[in-house]
Structure 1
C-alpha cells in the first residue's frame, strides 16, 4: 500500500517539471537578445571601421570646434601694417581675369577627365603669405610656377581631396562613391605625373585668361610636398589668394591660386583699370588740344655768339670797362647757337634783315620725334 503522505512527495517533481520549460525559454530569449546586441554592435563596428575620415572631414571637424571662440582684436600696429597692403578690390581687371580662368578651366577639366566638372570661385582676398602658409593642411601639394615676362613666381596649392579625386577618375576608380583610400600615403611617380598634367593645364588657362590684359607665359617649375620648400615670398609680403572649389559628380576638392603683389607689379597699372581697354587707346581730342596749347606757349630764346673758358680769378678781377677778347676775323661769318634755357635748339649765321640783327638757321639740334606740319622754322631776328 502507498501511504497518503507519499503523494506530496511526488508532487514537487511534477512542479519542477512544469517550471523547467519557462526557465529554458527565458534562457533562450536572453541568448537571442545577446546575439542581437552582438550583431548590432558588430554591424556598427564594421560600419565605423569601413568609413575612414579624409583630411577635409578632419579639418572641418577641427575647424568647427573652435567656432565658438571669441575673435581676437587686432592691435594698433597690426592695423597699421595691414593698412599698407594693396587691397584686391583696387585691381578690378584681376577679377575679370579670374572669371575667365574659371570658364576656361571648367571646359579644360571636362575634356581632361571626361566628367561633369563644375568650378566655383569661393573667395579672393589679400593676405600675408606667411598667414596663408600657416593655415594650409600638411597633406596639400604645392606647385611653384614662374611668370617669365614678369620674372617672378606664383603658387598653386592642391588639397588632398582634389588630388586623390583626380587620380581616382583618371585611373578608373569607382563611380558613384567618394574617394576610398588612405590620403596620408605619399604619391607615386605616376600619380605625380597626373597631378603635374593638371597643373600644366591650369597654368595654360591662366595665361590665356591674362591675354586681354597682357601677354604672359606661365611655366611649371616644381612640385613640392612641404610648405617649407614652396616659399616664393617673404612671410610678411602681401599676396592675392583665390580659392577655387572643383566638383566632379561625387568627388570634390579645392585649388588655391597664390600670386604675390610683387609678381603683379609690372602690370598693376593695367589691372587697376575699371573696364577693358580703358587706357589701351589714344585720345586724339586731348592730344590735339594739348598740341595747340603747347604751340601757343611763349618761350625765351637766347642767341649765343661765342663761349670762352676763363679762370675764376679773371672773372673775379673783372671791372667795368674791361674787355674780353674773342678770336674773330672780318671775313669769317659769325656762327650763332639758339638756346632755350640750357637746351640748344638751332645753329645759324649772324646777319641783318631790314636793318635789324638776324640769325639764319642752318641746322636743327633737337631730334624731330614728332615734326610739326610747319617744319620750316622762321627767320629769327633780334633788335
Structure 2
C-alpha cells in the first residue's frame, strides 16, 4: 500500500514546471510549431502535386469572376441606332455558307489533330465591332485575314482554351486529362506557328464554303495577341459574329469568326438569294413570258411631220382658221418621226401605199440592247 506522502501533489508539479528554465520552454514550443508547419507544408505539396486546377475549375471556384459580362437588355435608343444594320437573316446564303464551313472544318480538324472533333455553331448575330472587342477575353489570339477579291479584312479569334488544347494535342500532351498547363503565359514561337497552321486551314475551308456563292481567296495576314492591334474596322461598324464551340474529347475551346458588313458588301446581292443557284432574284421563265406578252400589246404610234416653237402669246392668239406655216417645198421628201408617247422610235419618209398614207422607216432610234429578238416591219402605214 503506497504512502500518501509519496504521491506528488499539484502544487509540487506546478513548482517543478515553474522552476524549469525559460529557454527550455521556448525550445519545446518552437519544436512543436515547426512540426506543425512541416506537416501542413507537406500536405499542401502532396495536394498540389496530385492535382493541378485547370482554367475551367478555377473559374468555377471563383464563381466565373473573370467571365464575360452578362448580356444586358438594349435600350430603345440603341435599337433605333442599330435599326440601320443589315441583319444576317436577310442574307440566307451567308448562313448556308457558314453551315457548310462547319462541316468542312470538322473534317479538316479530325485529320489535323488525329482526334475526334465535334464543332457546334453556338450562334450568329449582328453587332458593333467595338462591342465585341470590349467583351472578348484578353488571353485570346487574334488572326487577321484578307479577302482578296473583296478588298477588305476579317478576323478569326481563338480563345486560350482552344489554343492550348491544340498545342497539347499537336505536341503529344497527355490524353484524357484535359489541359494542365498555365494558360496565362505567352505563346512561344513554335506554339504560334502551330496556331497559324490552324488559322490557315480554317481560312481554306471558309474559302471553299463560299465557292458556290462566289470565288474568294482568304489569306492569312498576321497573328496578334492584343485586341488593339487587331482593329479591322471602326468601333461603330457593324459585323457578323459567328461563335463556334470545338470539342476534342476531353479538351474544348471557342473560335469566333468576325466578318464586317463592309467586307460582304461586294457580294451582298448574291448572299441575299433564297436558294443556291438563284440568279440575283431573277426568273428567266417568267421574264420570257412577260416579254412575249409585252410584245403582243397594242400601242399607239404617232407620226410627227414637223415641229415648230411658238411663244405663249402666239398660242393664246390661235383661232379657228389660223394657219401655221412650215418650211416645206413640193420637190423635197417629207421626213417623219414615229413616236410612242414622248419616246422617239423611228425616222422615215412620208409616202403612199395602196391608196393610204404610209411611212417608210429609214433609221431606228431605239438602241438594240434587248436580248429578245423581234422583227421590225419595213413599212408602217397609217390611215
- Equivalents in 1 of 2:371, 2:275: separation in Å? 34
Question: More displaced, 94-103 or 332-341?
Answer: 332-341
Q: CA RMSD in A?
A: 3.8
Q: What's 1:222 paired with?
A: 222
- Equivalents in 2 of 1:61, 1:341: separation in Å? 81
Q: What's 1:183 paired with?
A: 183
Q: 1:226 to 1:250 in 2, by over 3 A?
A: same
Q: CA deviation at 1:180?
A: 3.5
Q: What's 2:15 paired with?
A: none
The C-alpha deviation readout for 1:95-116, integer Å capped at 9, x for no partner, is: 3222211111111112222222
- Equivalents in 1 of 2:282, 2:127: separation in Å? 36
Q: What's 2:158 paired with?
A: 158
Structure 1 segment 66-85 matched on structure 2, within 5 A: 74-85=74-85
- Equivalents in 2 of 1:279, 1:210: separation in Å? 16
Q: CA deviation at 1:374?
A: 4.7
Structure 1 segment 328-339 matched on structure 2, within 5 A: 329-339=329-339
2:287 matches 1:287 = yes
Q: What's 1:113 paired with?
A: 113
* TM-score (norm: length of structure 2): 0.77
Q: What's 1:300 paired with?
A: 300
Q: 1:373 to 1:232 in 2, by over 3 A?
A: closer
Q: 1:72 to 1:153 in 2, by over 3 A?
A: closer
Q: Where does structure 1 lack aligned partners over 5 or more consecutive residues?
A: 1-6, 14-30
Aligned length: 356
The C-alpha deviation readout for 1:141-189, integer Å capped at 9, x for no partner, is: 1111122232322111011121122223223333343333333332233
Structure 1 segment 24-35 matched on structure 2, within 5 A: none
The 8 Å contact of residues 345 and 365 in structure 1, kept in 2 or not, is answered as yes
Q: CA deviation at 1:316?
A: 5.7
The 8 Å contact of residues 56 and 161 in structure 1, kept in 2 or not, is answered as no
Q: What's 1:204 paired with?
A: 204
Q: CA deviation at 1:281?
A: 8.6
Find the residue that maps to 1:195 and give its secondary structure: helix
- Equivalents in 1 of 2:61, 2:356: separation in Å? 96
- Equivalents in 1 of 2:188, 2:65: separation in Å? 34
Q: Where does structure 2 lack aligned partners over 5 or more consecutive residues?
A: 9-30
The 8 Å contact of residues 273 and 280 in structure 2, kept in 1 or not, is answered as no
The 8 Å contact of residues 155 and 258 in structure 2, kept in 1 or not, is answered as yes
The 8 Å contact of residues 121 and 245 in structure 1, kept in 2 or not, is answered as yes
Q: 1:372 to 1:232 in 2, by over 3 A?
A: closer
- Equivalents in 2 of 1:150, 1:60: separation in Å? 43
Find the residue that maps to 1:366 and give its secondary structure: coil
- Equivalents in 1 of 2:107, 2:197: separation in Å? 15
The C-alpha deviation readout for 1:262-296, integer Å capped at 9, x for no partner, is: 32233334434444335579645423431233123
- Equivalents in 1 of 2:86, 2:156: separation in Å? 21
Q: What's 2:173 paired with?
A: 173
The 8 Å contact of residues 238 and 260 in structure 2, kept in 1 or not, is answered as yes
The 8 Å contact of residues 54 and 161 in structure 1, kept in 2 or not, is answered as no
Question: More displaced, 51-60 or 139-148?
Answer: 51-60
Q: CA deviation at 1:140?
A: 0.8
The C-alpha deviation readout for 1:177-209, integer Å capped at 9, x for no partner, is: 333333333223332222111111101101111
- Equivalents in 2 of 1:12, 1:63: separation in Å? 62
The 8 Å contact of residues 147 and 217 in structure 2, kept in 1 or not, is answered as yes
The C-alpha deviation readout for 1:41-71, integer Å capped at 9, x for no partner, is: 523344347766555555566664599x998
